[in-house]
Chain A
Amino acid sequence: MRANWTLVLFPAMLFSFLLLGGTQFLFIRAGFFEDLGIGLIGDELVLSNYVTAFTDSFYFDSLILNIQVSVLVVVCALICSYPVAYVIARMRSQQLAMIMLAAIVVSSFVTIVIKVLGLIIIFGSDGALNQTLVGLGIIDQPLQVVGNIYGVIIGLMHYVLGFMVLMLFSVIQTIPRSLEEAALIHGASPYRMFMRVVFPLSLPGVVTGALIIFNLCMGAFVSAALLGGGKVLTLPVVIERTIVLDIEYAMGGTLSAILLVSVILINILSVWLLNRFRKARLVIT
């Protein structure tokens, strides 16, 4: 009986792992060739692309910018999504909670291209928001969002916020309400109850969610390319340009490998840091 399931697993494993191993090996290998211009690639394996990527500040800066923007978006998304997820999870009316969740699902399922299209209409200099704000005299100049870092951050927030709410909701929902009531009855203020009971219990979900949306942000291309207006050069944007505009396939491979390795390293590092932090806290309290 057991052997059956291994047999069932095997073809799926073969297909998936061949595809994973094959594509990843070939693109990493491609990054070690030399670009000869107009899309041609040399025959010898060299390190020159990596030397360029780490010495040319253009490439290195785009990686740093990519990480900074992603961290910022993760923090903002956490701050925005936690209250929403909490409110839905603790809602008395089951029906209203369902409607609010459905709205999140709908907005998450719409492709990001269409949402960015909407954002450009809203935040465009002659868009609805700017006309209203200027009309009310709140601002003198229309807010410029397309073509700068704020636009990219807004776009990325749109990309990840829905996912984060759904993930946090499923975690907070599993925390028994009775724990909160117990804390409140014993005299904890709502703030203290939240910080000492709810938040610590949801922490594993927060960390998993934060890492997932961090990865999404690191690889996000559409928001960065369209709302950055070609001026905010995060690594995914630079990779696309290297391939499509400069036709440097090898360099594109190199930069992709650097992006991939950075993402994996940051994931490992944060899990490791968190474990250390947790152990240290256990000793103190």
Chain B
Amino acid sequence: MSGSKKLPKALVGSFVFLVYLFLLAPVIVVAAASFDGGKSVAGRAFLQFPPSDLTFYWYEQIQPRLWEALGVSVSVAAVAAMVGTLIGVPAALGIVRSNIPGKTLIATLFRAPLQIPFIVIGIAFLQTYYYVANTLGIGVQGTFAGLALGHTFVATPYVVGSVGAALQRFDIRLEEAALSLGANRLTTFRRITLPIIMPGIYAGALFAFMVSFGDVPIALFLTSATYTTLPVEIFHGMEFDFEATVLAISTVVLLGSLVVLYFIQRLVGLDVLLRSGGSG
């Protein structure tokens, strides 16, 4: 290879390296700074990167409020992913396999929540909950149900998208073979169809979980001062000057995400996430 060809290669290589640095640096910095002892000035800590010493001090100092918010986030995301899957899987099956007229329109409508800016979804659910409270007298704003419903709304399209993609790759002859060999419809679905589309379901449910877990703009309007999610807590903490414990709990979340991704990799392989594409 000539020198003139090596130069662009080196250029592209360093460019790619810089992009990775840009993408990963903030995450690494948050984790590293959370172990910094910090200088405490008037009750506030100023952490720095690189950390000057290593300590778990800020992890012990994490307020119960933050742990509670983390609990809310995890449970809301779990319910949103579960309900999203219960709706998304039948929806994908119906869209791909039925011959209902207007399929394209139906598929587009199922995808619609992805086109709506999250902040608009937050406002829309807030207005809807006010309306429901005024007319029916049921208050759902600032409750678990209200938040989970809002997150289910944005989570479902991810499941529909990834399961739909899995179904489109599905070889229908496998089902025909099972049926002709004497399996009934339910057995065929349970033993043939479901296992094959399972990676798609995992991927969709995981996307649904992460979208709900990371969300701020929707939760901002659907939570209350006493009932709130971790990202909203962190957001409010950062609007002014953040406390060191926020870095510590963020690192806990980072570790949690890594563990989840590791299990996904072991269970179905990370490439399932790529194949189904987050866009739905």
Contact = CB atoms under 8 A, between A and B. Distances in A.
Interface of A: 2, 4-6, 8-13, 15-17, 19-20, 22-24, 26-27, 30, 80-81, 83-84, 87, 98, 100-122, 127-128, 157-158, 161-163, 166-167, 169-170, 190, 208-209, 212, 215, 218-219, 221-222, 225-226, 236, 239-240, 243-244, 249, 252-253, 256-257, 259-260, 263-264, 267
Given A107-B27, A111-B253, A117-B30, A27 B124 contact: yes
B162 interface: no
Interface stretch (B13-21, B60-68, B194-202): B13-21
A256 to B, nearest CB: 4
Contact of B106 (A13, A111, A219, A221): A13
A4 B123 CA distance: 37
Given A81-B19, A167-B279, 19 more contacts: A4-B185, A5-B100, A9-B95, A10-B94, A11-B90, A12-B88, A15-B87, A16-B91, A20-B113, A27-B120, A102-B261, A110-B254, A114-B27, A114-B30, A114-B234, A219-B116, A219-B118, A226-B239, A240-B217
Contacts of B26: 114-119, 121-122, 158
Contact of B128 (A22, A98, A128, A190): A22
Contact of B94 (A12, A169, A208): A12
A170 B277 contact: yes
Given A12-B91, A19-B149, A80 B19 contact: yes
A225 B235 CA distance: 9
A115 B27 contact: yes
A112 B94 contact: no
Contacts of B106: 9, 13
Nearest to B234: A113
Interface of B: 5, 8, 12-13, 15-16, 19-20, 22-30, 33, 47-50, 87-88, 90-91, 93-95, 97-100, 106, 109-110, 112-121, 123-128, 130-131, 149, 153, 156, 185, 210, 213-217, 220-221, 231, 234-235, 238-239, 242, 246-247, 250, 253-254, 257-258, 261, 265, 270-271, 273-275, 277-279
Contacts of A222: 216-217, 235
B93 A112 contact: no
A83 B87 contact: no
B120 A101 contact: no
Nearest to B218: A221
A166 B278 CA distance: 9
Given A114-B250, A169-B274, A239-B119, A104 B109 contact: no
Contacts of B217: 219, 221-222, 236, 240
Contacts of A9: 90-91, 93-95, 98, 100, 106
Contacts of B131: 26, 30
Contacts of B253: 110-111, 114
A215 B117 contact: yes
A252 B254 CA distance: 34
15 contacts: A8-B94, A12-B91, A23-B125, A27-B124, A30-B131, A113-B235, A114-B26, A117-B234, A117-B238, A121-B26, A166-B278, A221-B216, A243-B123, A259-B117, A260-B117
